[in-house]
Structure 1
Amino acid sequence: MVNDQLEQVHKALNDVIDPHMGVSIVDMGMVKRVEATLDDEVYVGIVNPCVGCPALEIILADIRKEVGKLDGVIKVKARVEWGHQWDKEDISCEGRARAARHGYVI
């Protein structure tokens, strides 16, 4: 994969929504790592804002689904990177605005 393809992965991740907040995982600041191999596999590492989040498996499945739609992607691995911490400061301005529309104050 080349840089253009990695950009497409990042765009696809904008379509993965945290179901609790109604905000993309990109705007939530959950995406910590995106890597691609020469054999067209993609790895997406995220942080989880809520330990024990019941939506975690849904989010990981949505990552695999959205990134897997991209041309040239053969396999998608999505995992929580427990060595990283999420902080509410990681939320983008757009993410804060969308969360506010869903009734969350951040």
Structure 2
Amino acid sequence: MNEDRIMTALEEVIDPEIGVNIVDLGLVYGIEETSTGKVVIEMTLTIPECPLADQIVTNVKKAAESVEGIGQVEVKLVFEPKWTTARMNDEAREQIRSRQMTIT
């Protein structure tokens, strides 16, 4: 399934401010393949005014396009529902804990 392969590729995209991948942070809300073969990735950022938003979106697009058989990719930034630390998985929490970072 392409969704699983794309999610695996997106694990390589690191939020540069936090140092944890966007999948573990829970920033990816959904992946949809349209009938025309286009992939639409719906995601958010930890804060709406993230200064590195363009870089993250570019990296997401490149990662998804690197998956064999994937053509056109669109990244949609959404801010509802709002991201919270509750969306992070245990691996992200452990990575942050090991760096002694605090995320509010």
Normalised by the size of structure 2, how large is the TM-score? 0.90
Residue 97 of structure 1, CA deviation: 1.3
SS of equivalent residue, structure 1 residue 44: strand
1:77 matched to 2:74? The reply is yes
Between the aligned partners of 1:64 and 1:34, the Cα distance in structure 2 is 12
Q: Which residue of 1 aligns with 2:9?
A: 12
Are the equivalent residues in 2 in contact too, given 1:46–1:80 (CA < 8 A)? yes
Question: Percent of counterpart pairs with the same letter?
Answer: 25
SS of equivalent residue, structure 1 residue 59: helix
Are the equivalent residues in 2 in contact too, given 1:22–1:102 (CA < 8 A)? no
How many equivalent pairs are there? 103
Q: Which residue of 2 aligns with 1:37?
A: 34
For the aligned residues, what is the CA RMSD? 1.3
Residue 9 of structure 1, CA deviation: 0.8
Residue 25 of structure 1, CA deviation: 0.4
For structure 2, the residue ranges without an aligned partner over 5 or more in a row are none
SS of equivalent residue, structure 2 residue 67: coil
The equivalent position to 2:53 in structure 1, one of 52, 56, 70, is 56
Residue 73 of structure 1, CA deviation: 1.1
Between the aligned partners of 2:7 and 2:95, the Cα distance in structure 1 is 19
The letter for the 2-side match of 1:32 is Y
